[in-house]
Structures are given as C-alpha cells and as structure tokens.
Amino acid sequence: MSYKARRCGVRFEPPAILLLYETSEGKSRQRIMPIRNFSKFSDCSRAAEQLKNNPRHKQYLEGASLKQLERLYKLLKAHLNGESLEASLKNIQREESIDPEEDLNKLDDKELA
C-alpha cells in the first residue's frame, strides 16, 4: 500500500511527530509517532534520521524530507529549553537563511559547514 504525505507537524505534550497522509484509496489519515528518549541535549539531525529509517514508520515518511523532520525536532528541542514557539521559529529561520550581502569566498571551511 502506498502513502502520500500531506503535512507534518510536532506535538509538544506528550512529544510526538504528527503526519497527515493520503492512502492509495484516497482516504486521509493521521499518524502519530511518539518521540521517546529525546532531551534538550539530543542531536536533532540524528534523531530525525533514526525516525525516518525506523522500519515501523519508514513507509509513511518516504514523502517527508529529512530537512523537514530536523526542523520539527529543532522546534521540540527549543520547547524543551523553554523558548516560545515564535522565538524558536525565528531562530530556525535565521539559521537556515543566507545573507545575500555576505561574501562566501572570504569564509573559511568551518563557517561554511
């Protein structure tokens, strides 16, 4: 059976990733994937990769990008650190945006990574 991911979201209490998807018959469904053993010290990219490669959720998350899952984990991590939703969204946006005025040729390898 094939699934087409429509929306992805995060729930803070209890922590979970929500996925709205469509089945091959055209029915809309919701899948709640609980997040266990995740703290404010956890690595977001590693946790997102583990969730995406989990055999239980793999077929549902094929349509969701790893980058999107990482962003959801970053939101959860910021919530665990006590940040508000608006502040954490601004921080994530700032981290992922590129300043068009910055000369990338003058940066060293550490700053580019």
In a domain, 77, yes or no: yes
In a domain, 111, yes or no: no
* Main-chain phi, psi angles of 24, to 5 degrees: -65, -20
Q: Which residue has the tokens 């981290």?
A: 95
Give CA–CA dist 61/51, Å, rounded.
9
Sign of the dihedral defined by the CA atoms of residues 14, 80, 9, 58, in that order: negative
Q: What is the rounded average pLDDT for all residues in the chain?
A: 89
In a domain, 47, yes or no: yes
How many domains does the chain divide into? 1
- pLDDT at position 51 is 93
- pLDDT at position 75 is 93
In a domain, 102, yes or no: no
- pLDDT at position 63 is 85
Contact 76, 35 (CB under 8 A): yes
In a domain, 113, yes or no: no
Give CA–CA dist 107/49, Å, rounded.
29
Give CA–CA dist 101/15, Å, rounded.
39
- pLDDT at position 48 is 93
In a domain, 10, yes or no: yes
pLDDT in tens, 91-112: 888 888 877 777 777 777 777 6
pLDDT in tens, 20-61: 999 999 999 999 999 999 888 989 999 999 999 999 999 999
Q: What is the pTM of this model?
A: 0.82
In a domain, 64, yes or no: yes
* Structural domain range at position 28: 3-96
